[in-house]
A and B are shown apart, each in its own frame.
Chain A
């Protein structure tokens, strides 16, 4: 089983919503579409589902071109951000509805529905109407409906976005397990980098209608191939700073120069953009190799055990994420420390020149 998008693009009224994209999804894999809102995740899913016809390109399913195939003849199930169930039907009937369309007999339906309800832990509510369930249970009902269908392609469009934090965590853990056994291809759209990392599998980073990078989730996270992918895959957003390399010296925007570390020796002289993630910034020098930057605090957000520090470094907005509670005065000038092993180096036009040194060490 495989799904391949070949040079798919979609234009609506002259505007390109999806730029020419290629994607190959394999059997029994979890594939995350990661991108901010309006990056084209839902549109791409609608194309995969057959709800939208691409303006160009082909969709290949198991080696067969299904671009012009009717929706009815496709092997697809989909779950949405909104909890979508038939309001007049009981939970049982909701789950049974795709099977009824397939003309399964009564006995088969009962077994399948009960099993799906059990897996999704909604067995006690089979007689209820969707409206009498909590949000989480409503989404479980929708998931059960998708599960029972046994489709080869399961599309999950931000299924947890409308749930509160606890329910989201609970379901996020369950979803990959639930569908794993079915051997289907999963596509899961989300705006949150953490969600992609927790789900694992493969990730396609999307931005403004383009697939920037597709690969193993951890690979994409550690080795983003350009600034946009790195930014899409960082929460809080990645911090950037410009620097110039000349004669083994790195000169940053504040005018201070540092001697290069070993892994930077292959970088030719020139102007670059360095990027690093919020958690790699420290308020105190933890290792001798860390270099110091002077920044101005804009404001701090304390989440209990961690502190987000919004700061300004020679005009660049940075966000630092440090352990512990730090009450820093607004507009205070403080030193922050960064290890050069944690910086990604991008060429000025945006492509990755050199991955962060630490990332190459992790397997």
Chain B
């Protein structure tokens, strides 16, 4: 069959190109623009090449923030993913009142805006008026997230687990529900153990959605800003200053636009790279496992 050549088809994608240009490419290019120039005011810009990038890559302050960020994300994933699967496995299997109730209760934290979540926990943890802080204080436990770095970390981690585990649960639950009943019956007749059912039936069948859950949680937690900003403001000291908080401090607090722009680009590339690497590795594991 002969292919029809018609260059007019390009016009069909034009609206999308324009949309993407305004929503992504132009703002991104502005950032790229800032990242390679310096200014002394009056809108005079000078080309500085990769100077800002070198500065950011060598900066101890950014290294520390990155270290904190990686630690935080690792802890979040290590808690939320297994916990989410565990809860999903114990949800009611049949649809009905109880499973609906569980789903609604679980979905609730996901519906609360981030800054509200931050505010809730900020107040909840205060030792003077917050239920949690006050109770712990009265029990004689020395808890103060505004002064103690460890307390601040624990508060933020518990807050994130409370806020986001539901997402893993909901996705895993959807994966579990899609397994046809005969699989379980066959396993039962085969006298497979609970662990074998999980390892060889449930986990492989949940793999696709789990992959998405982990990716989403990685990206989200790696970019976390609002909640720690509201609860601790990055403190005490710099204890909970994660990458995005540091970035905002640099860009808006100090108005170092050049380094901040370079920082943004590196930040963006890191997330892109890790997500891509994770996805590729998982997909390859899939293939290897299949061969």
The reply to whether the CB of A89 lies closer than 8 angstroms to some CB of chain B is yes
Contact B186 A80 (CB under 8 A): yes
Contact B290 A49 (CB under 8 A): no
How many Å from the CB of B36 to the closest CB on chain A? Answer: 49
Scan residues 59-92 of chain A and give those whose CB is less than 8 A from a CB of chain B.
71-72, 76-78, 80-82, 84, 86-89
Contact B185 A129 (CB under 8 A): no
Contact B204 A87 (CB under 8 A): yes
Residue in A78, A97, A132, A145 whose beta carbon sits within 8 Å of that of B185 in the complex: A78
What residues of B have a CB within 8 angstroms of the CB of A87 in the complex? Answer: 200-201, 204-205
Q: In the bound complex, what is the Cα–Cα distance between A77 and B185 (angstroms)?
A: 11
Binary per-residue interface labels of chain B (203-227) against chain A in the complex, 1 for a CB within 8 Å, 0 otherwise: 1110000000000000000000000
How many Å from the CB of A73 to the closest CB on chain B? Answer: 10
Q: In the bound complex, what is the Cα–Cα distance between A97 and B203 (angstroms)?
A: 17
Contact A101 B191 (CB under 8 A): yes
Contact B192 A97 (CB under 8 A): yes
- Bin chain A's interface residue count: 20 to 34
Q: In the bound complex, what is the Cα–Cα distance between A72 and B189 (angstroms)?
A: 7
Binary per-residue interface labels of chain B (260-291) against chain A in the complex, 1 for a CB within 8 Å, 0 otherwise: 00000000000000000000000000000110
The reply to whether the CB of A51 lies closer than 8 angstroms to some CB of chain B is yes
Q: In the bound complex, what is the Cα–Cα distance between A78 and B183 (angstroms)?
A: 11
Contact B180 A82 (CB under 8 A): yes
What residues of A have a CB within 8 angstroms of the CB of B289 in the complex? Answer: 88, 129
Contact A77 B200 (CB under 8 A): no
Q: In the bound complex, what is the Cα–Cα distance between A82 and B201 (angstroms)?
A: 14
Q: In the bound complex, what is the Cα–Cα distance between A210 and B264 (angstroms)?
A: 71
Scan residues 190-205 of chain B and give those whose CB is less than 8 A from a CB of chain A.
190-192, 199-201, 203-205
Binary per-residue interface labels of chain A (130-163) against chain B in the complex, 1 for a CB within 8 Å, 0 otherwise: 0110000000001001000100000000000000
Contact A98 B190 (CB under 8 A): yes
What residues of A have a CB within 8 angstroms of the CB of B185 in the complex? Answer: 46, 49, 51, 78, 80
Q: Please name the residue on chain B nearest to A79 by beta carbon.
A: B186
Q: In the bound complex, what is the Cα–Cα distance between A37 and B191 (angstroms)?
A: 28
The reply to whether the CB of B182 lies closer than 8 angstroms to some CB of chain A is yes
Known A-B contacts A80-B182, A129-B289, A132-B290; the reply to A86 vs B189 at CB < 8 A is no
Q: In the bound complex, what is the Cα–Cα distance between A278 and B138 (angstroms)?
A: 87
By a beta-carbon cutoff of 8 Å, the part of chain A in contact with chain B is: 46, 49, 51, 71-72, 76-78, 80-82, 84, 86-89, 97-98, 101, 129, 131-132, 142, 145, 149
4 nearest A-B pairs in the assembled complex, by CB-CB distance: A86-B200, A80-B182, A87-B204, A84-B186
Additional pairs, 7, CB under 8 Å, beyond known A80-B185, A101-B191? A71-B191, A78-B185, A86-B200, A88-B203, A131-B290, A132-B290, A142-B186
